[in-house]
A and B are shown apart, each in its own frame.
Chain A
Amino acid sequence: MERRVVITGVGIYSCLGKNLYEVKQSLWDGKSGIIFDEVRKSMGFRSALTGHVDLPNLKGILSRNQRVYMPEQAQYAYMATAEALKIANLGQDYLDSHEVGLLYGNDSSAEPVVKSVDTMREKGDTTLIGSGGIFQSMNSAVTMNLSCIFKLKGINLTVSGACASGSHAIGLGSLLIKWGLQDIVVCGGAQEINPYSVCSFDGISAFSTRESEPTKASRPFDRDRDGLVPSGGGATVIIESLESAIKRGAPILAEVIGYGFSSNGDHISVPNVDGPRRSLEMAIREAGIRKEEIGYVNAHATSTHVGDQNEAKAIAAVFDDYKPEVTSTKSQTGHEMWMAGASEVIYSMIMMKNDFIAANINFENPDEDSAKLNIPGQRVSKHFDTFLSNSFGFGGTNSTLIVRDFKG
């Protein structure tokens, strides 16, 4: 018999706040985490807009020999994971004596690569790159650091699925638990936010250039959207078998009831309708629920013209006459990319636990497709117990999660 998968811990470090409490307040207030970054402008960016996240000060928390291997996004992920482990009541004694897994979404580590090459070119000696360069540069930098710091002994793997990485990490982790291969998996997503990591993305004209109004630049589903705003941070979702959670006396926050996935098999950057539609349908089928049981849809919508348009079509096709509220929290956060699939599960859980749906800020005028959805431009007071979260990425990778409040 397949095992039920519950969420027993969450932690977040994002442009909306450095912990769950701060993020909840920002969601409630409809606060934007987007700024204009002078440094990017001076570097030659088309758009100097970005989510803003302060680097945590880990000196005094982690030793020098732990910190030296951590790129920026691993530091965010550490903060989020420390918060999640605390909520899940998972102390070091437990982690030392059980095979707790780690599946984290990450799909780049650009800055350490650039800095290493700069040093080599300047000094002509690779030794001077230092010991941190190699470990910080690898795509698995987040999982290799977290697994060593928290001494995790189960599966240890980075999930790289572009902007669906964090969502796939949770989905794949849920399968491992469902099938009895792991009891607990620390899942999540992390995203670096430095200019080096997104300069090439800026170069393909994907970013909003509404630089005069940074907080209005990310406007998913709005008629006048003109591109996404890059952002980042870290988000951790600890999933666990129901049996394990009960046995530990852990707080059971919610249940992962559906994971759907698909590939567009189409264009590298332009999303289509069929791929996302199949991902949504699979998630609903796997959850074994009627679509009418879904009270809220957290859309992937990044504020790009074609992406939002095709997601709106896919959602409309799947939900038909039923119109649950649909919002994109990226209107507040910008696009948290590798992290987004995990952070948006957390944002949605915060809303579900507090009976509200955060405003899809900057949604002033619908276009032809978004007009067919129920998109609130203002915060809505609403009790719901099940939500669906979409994450799509370059190469046409799609992931959909359905999470339900825990009912016992």
Chain B
Amino acid sequence: MTKGEIISKVNSLLAEEFEVEESVITPEANIKKTLELDSLSLVDLVALIDGEFGIKTNGAEMSKVGTFSELYDFIESKIA
């Protein structure tokens, strides 16, 4: 999967699940603020990424990911 495909998939997935316009998802935007995630919905982000990309991760690991750009990199590193 190319980086571009990862970005496209992540953006549409998160926009749909967390009900935000895809246009607000930009590489440098903060994930928690943009998606209005609290400690509970962070669990859903983990489950979503796992379900879509088959990545084994956890809340602690995911909470270190601050921006969408970092999330794309994180996923790329895990599926590489």
Contacts and interface: CB of A to CB of B under 8 A. Distances in A.
A68 B41 contact: yes
Interface residues of B, number: 16
Residue from the set A63, A64, A125, A132 with the largest chain B CB neighbour count within 10 Å: A64
A64 B48 CA distance: 14
Contact of B38 (A65, A123, A127, A129): A65
A131 B51 contact: no
Contacts of B36: 65
B75 to A, nearest CB: 16
B18 interface: yes
Given A127-B58, A127-B59, A64 B19 contact: yes
Nearest to B42: A131
Contacts of A130: 43-44, 47
B40 interface: yes
Interface string A50-93: 00000000010001110010000000000000000000000000
B19 A128 contact: no
Interface string B26-42: 00000000001010110
Contacts of A127: 43, 46-47, 50, 58-59
Interface residues of A, number: 13
B73 interface: no
A65 B44 CA distance: 11
A125 B44 contact: no
Nearest to B16: A64
A384 to B, nearest CB: 49
Nearest to A64: B19
Contacts of A131: 40-41, 43-44
A130 B43 CA distance: 6
B57 to A, nearest CB: 9
A127 B36 CA distance: 19
Interface in A123-181: 123, 125, 127-132
B17 interface: yes
A129 B44 CA distance: 8
B38 A128 contact: no
Given A65-B36, A68-B44, A128 B17 contact: no
B19 A63 contact: yes
Contacts of B50: 123, 125, 127-128
B64 interface: no
Contacts of B58: 127
A383 B50 CA distance: 62
Nearest to A132: B44
30 contacts: A59-B19, A63-B19, A64-B17, A64-B18, A64-B19, A65-B36, A65-B38, A65-B41, A68-B41, A68-B44, A123-B50, A125-B50, A125-B56, A127-B43, A127-B46, A127-B47, A127-B50, A127-B58, A127-B59, A128-B46, A128-B47, A128-B50, A128-B51, A130-B43, A130-B44, A130-B47, A131-B40, A131-B43, A131-B44, A132-B44
Given A64-B18, A129-B47, A130-B44, 12 more contacts: A59-B19, A63-B19, A65-B36, A65-B38, A65-B41, A68-B44, A127-B43, A127-B46, A127-B58, A128-B50, A128-B51, A131-B43
